[in-house]
Structure 1
């Protein structure tokens, strides 16, 4: 997968998650939490989801093409980020056009699905991993350590899994400023993702 295509798609989906899923849900339901869903991601308390290259509202599908405002109008949504909750937002300019490549969207959806399964295997079947719209990562917290998967960000463009203790640790496991990360290519299935988190829990003590 071409990195530029993957990054463009990830940036677009991050903006969609904030403006068209989390923002409307927060204004209506009071929560910004999102979840992994077949083909992409979805609101936890609403009918809006991303499936591949489409925004789906109930039975209505709208291609993720054009601007956020145009997609929102076609879907009957009031676009906008959740206001007053956090400072980090998607790197997105007003009027910028969405670029969602089908192949890249599939790669990112698969990574969220793999991460969701890995997090549940690691933390327990009753765990509900959350996609947080500010950083666009899927995560859980156990004993003051964050475990999650990211589709990539400005610091690491490729998808990766991470372990982020609230209090930084030292040792060979910890290879990032915030804790530890492993690229998605090193974690081919949910069992490998769960094993990385288990190793992180052991290293965190």
Structure 2
């Protein structure tokens, strides 16, 4: 199903803000890490406090709280959390203040959650034993191996829809490497785990060759 690009972008930015203000920040203060993880229907903290975003809800030990139509500061108060706390840890981020109204469309949230779930499965298949991390800074799921970043982004200023990427630390040249940071493919073109795994595998092979891929 096609989702309006503006709706997808607003949902992604809102979920990114929630990941920073309500999951990563409180987790960092309590457990010393900002690393998040995918979970069925969304994403979650790895350590205390135990929090999840599932669909359009923030799921807390006390129950679910709807995201749309409110803001992170209000949600934090309802959940007994102190919002924010990641700004001093990195220079980038969602750019969404804690008092900005959230807009989370159910279909758009599902598309982002599905992209993270698919990425998690493919990355674990590519690197058995790996534990892909959902980073709150860029709100992308990734693994770094052999000086190459592999992952899935829900969208950003480069591409406003979910996409997979392979990013060698040392730039490569050639037809495969179609993005400023390496290679990117829309998730719409990689509809299942075998297709996504094939993209990552090709990128791993070409990155290992060094220099340029086929012209």
> Does the TM-score normalized on the shorter chain lie above 0.5?
yes
User: Which residue in the other structure is 1:19 paired with?
Assistant: 21
Aligned mate of 1:109, from 104, 108, 113:
113
Q: Which residue of 2 aligns with 1:77?
A: 81
Give the 4+ runs in structure 1 shifted more than 3 A.
none
Matched residue, 2:179? 176
User: What's the counterpart of residue 136 of structure 1?
Assistant: 139
Match runs of 1:1-205 below 5 Å:
1-46=3-48, 47-65=50-68, 66-124=70-128, 126-205=129-208
Tell me the distance in 2 between the aligned counterparts of 1:195 and 1:147.
Answer: 12
CA RMSD of aligned residues (A): 1.0
SS of alignment partner, residue 153 of structure 1? coil
Separation (CA, whole Å) in 2 of partners of 1:75 and 1:93: 18
Kindly state the Cα deviation for residue 91 of structure 1 after the two structures are TM-superposed: 2.3
- 5+ residue gaps, structure 1, are none
Q: Alpha-carbon deviations, 1:40-94, whole Å to 9, x = none?
A: 0000113111010000112511111311111111111110132422100112135
Residue pair 1:118, 1:192 contacting (<8 A) in 2 also: no
* Structure 2: distance between partners of 1:146 and 1:94: 30
Normalised to the residue count of structure 1, the TM-score between the two structures is 0.97
> What CA distance in whole angstroms lies between the structure 2 residues aligned with 1:116 and 1:59?
28
Query: What TM-score do you get using the length of structure 2 for normalisation?
Result: 0.92
5+ residue gaps, structure 2: 209-215
8 Å contact from structure 1 (residues 119, 194) kept in 2: yes
